[in-house]
Structure 1
Amino acid sequence: MVLNDVSQRSVRREQDARLTVGFVLVQRFTLCAFANFVDVLRLAADEGDRSRPIQCRWKVVAPDMRPITASCGVSVQPHEVFGSPKHFDYIVVVGGLIDEMDRPDERVERYLRQAAAAGVPLVGLCTGTFILHRAGLMEGYRGCVSWFHHQDFLSQFDGLRPISDQIFVVDRDRLTCSGGTSTAHLAAFLVDRHIGKAQSTKSLNIMMISEAEDGGAPQPGLTLSFRTKDPIVRKALLLMQQSLDTPVSVSEMARHLKVGKRCLERHFREALGTSPLTAFIEMRLLLARHMLENTDKSIAMIAAESGFCDSSHLSRTFRRRFANTPQNFRASLGS
């Protein structure tokens, strides 16, 4: 009798929540995508950051109760095994490493199809969009993927055109997101829809995110100077972006991408008409110019953060590229 009373109270609390979410995490899921999304819910659910699941509730559901390991090695214990998806307002599937897409879990796909049949909206985070497509649940829907995985998507799903130039897409009862911090913006969109603007804004502010972005906001990624469909070049450019303050050599990039140095240089010539080293220097110079325009940081600090040895090195390279010194360029902005 006591257990039954506890169960009934739990059901009432679930019904009182204004937004309920069930998370499906695949093996080697992306922890950042999951953590950003669930933290927006956590902070919107209660006053301040007290974290009581009052206005929002969430559970990790899985085929069994074994821990699910993220790509970074952290494991998450499910709350419960798959039951009725109708207990949730949304089912959110969190994808991960692209290599895992070759090993689909039929139990997960069956649960997602069950949710779709019950009319529960489905959300795909990161490569979760791939999982929804593979389960046959995105036919006739627009889907968002990271620009980094655009070519991977095209190679796996013939005839489907993913959206990879905005952070998330809401198409009726399918919501898909590129991953990373954009999952926080998608979660804030749902909090705004079900609870209110004040709660979504509060969540983002506590997470040090200045304001909510709508789905049409462009994905952070490749600088506009470099547009290519070559997957090797795109991955090299991403590696460069992640290493702007501590530049890596072309040989190191080639080893990381598991291609030869000459092969990498050939891909850059054919795709961009330039060398990897020249592209890397251009990317770092654009970062330095951006900081000169938008920050009050010293020239020495800008040089360090954009991967130059010192302010003299930055000045020489900057002058060759822009026919101006960093000091004079900054001074001209105020004229």
Structure 2
Amino acid sequence: MDRDHPMKAANRHPGRKPAGSADRSHGRKLVDDIDGLDARPILRPDLKIGVVLWPEFPLMSLAGLVEALRHAADFGDNSQRRRCDWTIMAHDPSLSVRSSAGVTVRPDRSYQDPADFDYVAVIGGLLRSLSSAPEGARAYLRRAAEAGVPVIGICTGSFILAEEGLLDGRRACLHAYHLEEFRESFPHVRAEANLDYIDDGDVLTCAGGISIISLASELIRRHCGPDRATKTIHQMSVANRADATPLTVTQALGYTRVADPRLRRAVLLIEQSLVRPISPQWLADQVHVSRRQLSRLFAEEFGQSPGAFIRTTRLRYGRWLLQNSSESVTEIALRLGFSDCAHFIRTFRQEFDTTPGAVREARARSDKVMA
């Protein structure tokens, strides 16, 4: 029976790379490339968030926020708080807070000056626990708002901010499950669902769940730069579609190694924005160059304008989806931002001198032969 042991089987072929080794090396190289975009000395974290937990808070909201910050904070995967930092606070940090799953979390310290943070976030608990305010928590949130520190309501944290009058006349992001009850309780707040978050300047609200990763990534982008946000998305395996990981997407496109760090950053941003509209001007703003300079960089390296490169990249991803997914041509076209299927087919033919249907038929013939 020992002959079937996987380790012994691998040792019989010392020259053969283990399955998946190329994926792992590519993933490590991608992170190394991102980390190499910014080698400046770090004197203090670029992003600091203070966190207040309500009884029966959802673990996913806390974990999503902290894990996003953790990946953006360090270089490599060493859990060093260099670019980002976070602090969980309570009146008495010796008392653990029980989550809705029954897992308890012990705060790091007592409430500290809100001005020490870029944001103060409150993660609300089950609705039945909202009236069980931790000692000093509401006063601390008001103190943060009065000091001009942006406050974030995560999950039912929006209820808490509304109760404190911090959402009066504003928009608020709610999970659909809580939307009706919130509207009944706070008719003076414009509550919306089916969004990841709403940024209303000095007050932000987030639906919770995996939506917190979207909000955290945006805050990381603003304070630490798009390279840190890209690393976060990659490390947390946030996919551009439900059944494809960012690493798979990168392999489908062919990650481009270029010398200019601004151009590398621009390419990474394009690869991470395949299913949402971006413009050359937005791209130029993110990498801190003028639109004319960005066009020059793309022309010198790729012989294309930024807009053409974005379109070509999406078409390449579309071709990969045709070959590797079960989505229809129409679904792929709409996912990639084309106005309709006909537009996608016409542009695809111009780029590859073939049609999406022909690519799908070739895949079907190949599958039949392999079967």
TM category, shorter: 0.5 to 0.7
* CA positional deviation for 1:104: 3.5
Separation (CA, whole Å) in 2 of partners of 1:147 and 1:191: 26
CA contact (8 A) 2:172 2:191 kept: yes
- Taking the aligned partners of 2:237 and 2:90, their CA distance within structure 1 comes to 31
Per the alignment, in what secondary structure is the counterpart of residue 238 of structure 2?
coil
For the 8 Å contact 1:90–1:122, the answer to whether it is kept is yes
Q: What is residue 179 of structure 1 aligned with on the other side?
A: 208
Contact 1:68–1:76, Cα closer than 8 Å, also in 2: yes
- 2:105 pairs with one of 76, 84, 102: 76
Q: Which 4+ residue blocks in structure 1 deviate beyond 6 angstroms?
A: none
Q: In the TM superposition, what is the alpha-carbon distance from 1:294 to its structure 2 partner?
A: 6.0
Q: Which amino acid aligns with 1:91?
A: V
**Cross-structure match for 1:110:** 139
Q: What is the deviation of 1:157?
A: 1.8
5+ long unaligned stretches in structure 1: 1-12, 218-290, 296-329
SS in 1 for 2:171: coil
Identity percentage of aligned residues: 37
Find out whether 1:168 has 2:191 as its counterpart.
Answer: no
From the superposition, tell whether residues 104 and 143 of structure 1 become closer, same or farther in structure 2 (CA, over 3 Å). Answer: same
How far off is 1:49 after superposition? Answer: 1.7
Q: 1:199 to 1:152 in 2, by over 3 A?
A: same
Q: How many residues align?
A: 213
| Contact 2:54–2:133 (8 Å) recurs in 1 | no
The 1:77–1:106 alpha-carbon spacing in structure 2 relative to 1, beyond 3 Å, is closer
Q: Equivalent of 1:122, from 137, 145, 151?
A: 151
Counterparts of 1:207 and 1:159, CA distance in 2: 37
Structure 1 segment 130-209 matched on structure 2, within 5 A:
130-209=159-238
- Measure, in 2, the Cα distance between the counterparts of 1:83 and 1:62: 9
SS of 2:85's equivalent?
Answer: strand
Question: Match for residue 286 of structure 1?
Answer: none
The within-5 A match list for 1:15-54 is: 16-54=44-82
The letter for the 2-side match of 1:34 is: L
Q: What is the aligned-residue RMSD (CA, Å)? A: 2.9
Q: Secondary structure of the residue that 1:91 maps to in structure 2?
A: strand
- TM-superposition CA deviations, 1:212-246 (whole Å, max 9, x none): 78xx99xxxxxxxxxxxxxxxxxxxxxxxxxxxxx
Give the TM-score, by structure 1 length: 0.59
Deviation of the 1:293 alpha carbon: 3.6
The answer to whether the 8 A contact 2:123-2:157 is kept is: yes
Q: TM-score, normalised by structure 2?
A: 0.53
Cα deviation, residue 14, structure 1: 10
**Structure 2 residue runs without a partner (length 5+):** 1-40, 241-271, 278-324, 330-359, 365-371
CA contact (8 A) 2:119 2:150 kept: yes
Within-5 A mapping of 1:260-275: none
Query: Closer, same or farther in 2 for the Cα pair 1:15/1:115, shift >3 Å?
Result: farther
